[in-house]
Amino acid sequence: MIQARCVAFANQSGQLLHGILHEPDPATARAVCILLLSPGIKGRVGPHRLYLKIAERLVPLGFHVLRFDYYGLGDSEGELSEIFLADMYNSIQAGRYIGDTIAAMDWMQNTLGIRRFVGSGLCGGSISALATAQVDSRIDCLLGMGLPTVLEGGPENWARILTRQQIVSLRGSYFGKLADPKSLLRFFRGKSDYKVIWKIVKQWIADRRAAPKTNVETPLSEVDHTNPLFASAFMAMLESSRPMILFFSGADRLRYQFAENFESHHEARIRNLRHLYEVHLIPNANHVFSDSTWVAELLERAERWLNVRYPSR
């Protein structure tokens, strides 16, 4: 029988954090807790009740699931001082909620004796789990969903963090607008995003020059836009033999950013550790996995991966 109850515990600053603990039948419990950490400024339910759907699938398998609100979010105490969302998101990527995550694990260990945790969550939840895993070995694997690797720069810097795959996909639509009088008028009135257009044109020129010489893709930029804390946290997990499964959606830039801004720049370091992490792409999914078929695919693969990692009793 699945039980869900309200819980509350204090973080290191004494702020009370509120959450929901889903508990499995004691006969099937695996003494492992899945931490569903808040995605950015979203609360413990997740977009489109994603976290509830995950709990409903994994708790009957014997996993505890804890989802709670960080300080300043939802029902928890505290306030947020940031004005712009980009600043909030970047603070999360810098490890803003490591302390809250550790407080949750401390509470689970002191209350239920659970010492093993699966770090998980959508977007900001995944990066918080990864950052916490670097300093706390109780997170012994990562189930990431839409793991971000690049800091948010705001609309004015969007062109700077475009991936090559995004540039190629945007090229057709931008070139198609050349025949549209309204788009041309917008261009000459200074209302277009000239940085994006210039980047598309430069990539197109580079591809044209490279085409007669070779069939391989144009080399990626040497500029690394990765969150400076990402690589060290990611490698800390791999080098301590803690595995990961990373889910990405096809209609999202995050998969390409992970490949182009992290894997390509750290190829030598991860070559012998590549077997420790798996990347699963759900082709047509959006960032929040809002469709039931996308959630079903995610949960089916996650369940198989978790069963290998934590065999049932």
- How many angstroms separate the CA atoms of 2 and 52, rounded? 13
Say what the pLDDT of residue 155 is.
43
| CA nearest neighbour of 254 among 155, 162, 158, 183 | 162
197 pLDDT tier (thresholds 50, 70, 90): low
Q: Are 272 and 257 in contact (CB under 8 A)?
A: no
- How many angstroms separate the CA atoms of 100 and 201, rounded? 45
Say what the pLDDT of residue 104 is.
98
Does residue 160 have a pLDDT over 90? no
Lowest mean pLDDT among 35-39, 95-99, 165-169: 165-169
Say what the pLDDT of residue 162 is.
47
Structure tokens belonging to residue 190: 């200074």
pLDDT tens-digit readout, 119-151: 999 999 999 999 999 999 999 999 999 999 988
114 pLDDT tier (thresholds 50, 70, 90): very high
Q: Are 101 and 90 in contact (CB under 8 A)?
A: no
Average pLDDT, the chain: 84
Does residue 265 have a pLDDT over 90? no
- How many angstroms separate the CA atoms of 1 and 28, rounded? 10
Domain chopping of the chain, boundaries: 3-151+226-309, 155-210
Structure tokens belonging to residue 249: 């959606």
For 219-236, b/e burial (b = at least 16 CB within 10 A) is eeeeeebbbebbbebbeb
Say what the pLDDT of residue 145 is.
97
The CATH class for the domain spanning 3-151+226-309 reads: alpha beta
Mean pLDDT along residues 63-92: 91
Does residue 167 have a pLDDT over 60? no
157 pLDDT tier (thresholds 50, 70, 90): very low
- How many angstroms separate the CA atoms of 103 and 266, rounded? 32
Residue scoring higher pLDDT (86 or 297): 297
Would you tell me how many other CB atoms lie within 10 Å of the CB of residue 45? 16
Say what the pLDDT of residue 84 is.
84
CA 65-292-127 angle, 5° bins:
45
Model confidence pTM above 0.85: no
Q: Are 162 and 265 in contact (CB under 8 A)?
A: no
Does residue 215 have a pLDDT over 90? no
Mean pLDDT along residues 66-73: 95
What is the per-residue DSSP string for 78-123?
-----SSHHHHHHHHHTTTTHHHHHHHHHHHHHHH---EEEEEEET
